[in-house]
Amino acid sequence: MKESYYKEQLPEAEKKEYQECVDLMERGSRKKTAKKLEEFLDEKPNFVPALNKMAVIHIYRKELNQAQSLLNQILEQDPDFAPAVTNLGSIAKEMGNLKRAKKLYQKAIAIDEEYGPAYNNLGVIYREEGNYSESIKHLKKARKKGSFSYHLNADKPFYKDPGCLFVIFLVVSLILVLYLLLT
């Protein structure tokens, strides 16, 4: 099943808590993500998407055995969870088994034709093998299907983002200092 199915089963408060974990992970805050996921999994130990995110944390830490164990646990619960199959493919690739990785990515695509990361990872393998036509085909599909999720607030202009405001402040300050120095 898709992640959206699992999220729909959560009460609103838990849905928000899980989304915080996802947002932290997308920002690259792995330590904070791991801590929040552990807290979340204490309450919901069989929540497949959270287990999958924890497996991804283990993959980033190069703790491949723990990741593989979690992913196998997920697939026992839900053999059709494409992100877990894709992440098993990533472990196979990390271990140098490109043939197995390709099969797992293809299996993930067969399970969920809309799951962009499987296309992306398969496209990368094809590129590394020198099969550029297949690589381009899969990378285009990954882009179309969406390999990443971006949360933009349409009600808030980009220039009101704190990071953008700081850059604007620095530029204005630099211009002012240069003006004062040159006059």
The pLDDT value recorded for residue 151 is: 39
Residue-wise pLDDT for 165-177, tens only, equals 777 888 888 999 9
Q: Which helix (H) or strand (E) holds 32?
A: helix 30-43
Widest CA span in the chain = 73
The pLDDT value recorded for residue 163 is: 62
pLDDT of residue 140 exceeding 70: yes
Which domain CATH number covers 25?
1.25.40.10
138 and 118 part of one domain:
yes
pTM: 0.77
Helix (H/G/I), strand (E/B), else coil: 6:
helix
pLDDT of residue 74 exceeding 70: yes
Residue-wise pLDDT for 83-120, tens only, equals 999 999 999 999 999 999 999 999 999 999 999 999 99
Query: What residues make up the domain containing 65?
Result: 3-152
Q: Is 181 exposed, middle or buried (0-12, 13-18, 19+ CB in 10 A)?
A: exposed
Determine contact, residues 120/139, Cβ cutoff 8 Å: yes
118 and 170 part of one domain:
no
Helix axes 132-145 and 116-129, enclosed angle (nearest 10): 160
Determine contact, residues 26/72, Cβ cutoff 8 Å: no
121 and 60 part of one domain:
yes
60 and 135 part of one domain:
yes
